[in-house]
Amino acid sequence: MAGAVMEINEAQFDLEVLKAELPVLVDFWAPWCGPCKMLGPVLEEVAAANDGRLKVVKVNVDENPDLAQKYQVMGIPAMFLIKGGQVIESFTGAMNKAALTEKIDKYI
């Protein structure tokens, strides 16, 4: 679905993130994480506002621990902006739409 946040797993990561044509904002999260829940609606807004320019995906760290370890996720929510298969920016913690948009706009 265009402009929506997509939940993916480790098996989908290569195709959906590393081989994506658009930059991808990857949110590492967990259902028990309060700040992750607060970030959810923000990610939905960012995905909708940047449809066609940015892809937004979520990775559950409890269900995909190897992926979290590969990206050295120490705290959640942890977001990685990946373009051309490479991490170009990362940030940790919940933030509002304006703050998140400011961080990613220079890359998309």
Which is the catalytic residue, given 36, 42, 46, 59? 36
Give me the DSSP letters along 62-99.
Answer: TT-HHHHHHTT--SSSEEEEEETTEEEEEEES---HHH
Catalytic residue flag (residue 36)? yes
Which is the catalytic residue, given 20, 22, 30, 33? 33
Dist. CA 93–CA 30, nearest whole Å: 13
Catalytic residue flag (residue 98)? no
The token duo for 74 is 């120490």
When computed from its CA atoms, the radius of gyration of the chain, rounded to whole angstroms, is 12
Q: Catalytic residue numbers?
A: 33, 36
